[in-house]
Structure 1
Amino acid sequence: MTITNFAIIAICGYLLGSLSFAIIVSKLTLGKDIRDYGSGNAGLTNSYRTMGGKKTLLVLLGDIGKGAAAVAIGALLGGPVGKLIGGIFVILGHMFPLYFGFRGGKGVLVGATMLALFDWRVFCIAIGLFFVSVILTRWVSLGSILGAISFPITTYLFYHDPVLRAMAFGMAAAVIFMHRANIGRILTGTENRFSFKSKKTIETDESKTKREGKT
């Protein structure tokens, strides 16, 4: 891979990742910043908890789309290594978005999208661990951490490329680092548990006025 191709993949991945759809959807539809509500995280779980299912679907589609686009660019210009480079930088953009003060989400959904397009075997193992963990504990963060941990392990088992292995380890470490506060709460048993009932704590000024007028 040439330096030019690497730069194109990295820049495109980061700029795509910086499109934080949780923030975009909350601002466009509610006039609010999701980072001011719930856990303060611009991610899928907090979107569901604070905005409800319909708006979270828009976040889901947007984040999957940007992850897929970054990986596709990487694959076109750099093959399997390019896929991971695109994945790394789209996750970095998601975590530290250029357009939103470098404060974004934790990169789990875009990371899962990258895994699905990188190697279906790696993805299935990671997503399997995620769902089993969430079903047993209802801790989405724990499922995300276990899925991230599995990535460098399965990459080591399925690939003999030291560059791919190193990149997989780095991506997993970044996701785990972003969950450091969650790890502390898991250890103390105070981590929030997932519920299918969203609280919808974000509301427009108009709906707030109507609600207060009825009380």
Structure 2
Amino acid sequence: MTILHFAIIAVCAYLLGSLSFAIIVSKVTLGKDIRDYGSGNAGLTNAYRTMGASKTLFVLLGDIAKGAAAVAIGMLLAGPIGKLTAGIFVILGHMFPLYFGFRGGKGVLVGAVMLALFDWRVFLIALVLFLAAVFATRWISLGSILGAISFPISTFFFYHDQVLTAMAFGMAAAVVFMHRSNIARMLNGTENQFSFKSKKTIESTGKDEKGTDA
């Protein structure tokens, strides 16, 4: 991968990642900022908890699309390393969006899209760990952390490539770091458990007291 290719991939992926659809959907449909509600996180879980399933569907589709677009650019310009480079920067954009004051989500969904497009085997291992953890504890955050940790391990197992493994490790570390407050709450036994019942707090009560989220 040339320096020019790296620069193009990094910039395009970061700008795509900065399109925070949880914020966009909440502002366009409700005239409010999702970061003022629930956990204050501009992510899929908080969107579902505070806006309901129908609006969260648009968040889901938008985040999938931006992740897929970024990875496609990376693949086109630099192959597997380009995919991971795009993955790193689209997640950074999602976490620290340029357009929204650098306050975004935690990168789990965008990271999952990147994994699915990078290698289905790596994605499947992460998905199984995620679902097992959520099924056992109903902690979305724990599933997200375990899925992230599996990424560099699976990458090394399948590719035996130090560069790819190091990049995967960096991405996993970023996701785990963004969940540091969730880790503290899990250790204290105060982490919220996921429920399929949405509270729709943005529509129903105005500004909501901030809680927890993955």
TM, length-normalised to structure 2: 0.95
1:202 partner SS: helix
Query: Structure 1, residues 176-206: CA drift from partner, whole Å, max 9, x if none?
Result: 00000000000011000000000000028xx
CA shift at 1:94, angstroms?
A: 0.1
Q: Which has the higher contact order (CA 8 A, sep 6+)?
A: 2
Counterpart in the other structure of 1:167: 167
Counterpart in the other structure of 1:189: 189
> Residues of 2 paired with 1:88 and 1:145: CA distance?
16
2:167 partner SS: helix
Query: Structure 1, residues 40-96: CA drift from partner, whole Å, max 9, x if none?
Result: 000000000000000000000000000000000000000000000000000000000
| Partner AA of 2:61 in structure 1 | L
| Partner AA of 2:162 in structure 1 | P
> Residues of 1 paired with 2:55 and 2:122: CA distance?
29
Q: Which segments of structure 1 move beyond 4 Å, counting only runs of 4 or more?
A: none
> What is the 5 A alignment of 1:1-215?
1-203=1-203
> Residues of 1 paired with 2:157 and 2:203: CA distance?
47
> Residues of 2 paired with 1:194 and 1:2: CA distance?
44
CA shift at 1:35, angstroms?
A: 0.2
Greater mean alpha carbon deviation, residues 181-190 or residues 156-165: 156-165
1:203 partner SS: helix
CA shift at 1:132, angstroms?
A: 0.8
2:202 partner SS: coil
Counterpart in the other structure of 1:211: none
2:203 partner SS: coil
> Residues of 2 paired with 1:62 and 1:181: CA distance?
26
CA shift at 1:156, angstroms?
A: 1.0
Query: Structure 1, residues 103-157: CA drift from partner, whole Å, max 9, x if none?
Result: 0000000000000000000000001100111011000000000000000110110
> Residues of 1 paired with 2:183 and 2:85: CA distance?
27
Q: Between the two proteins, what is the percent identity of the paired residues?
A: 81
> Residues of 1 paired with 2:127 and 2:199: CA distance?
26
How many residues in Structure 1 have an aligned counterpart in Structure 2? Answer: 206
Counterpart in the other structure of 2:212: none
CA shift at 1:160, angstroms?
A: 1.7
Q: RMSD of the alignment, in Å?
A: 1.1
CA shift at 1:29, angstroms?
A: 0.1
CA shift at 1:161, angstroms?
A: 1.4
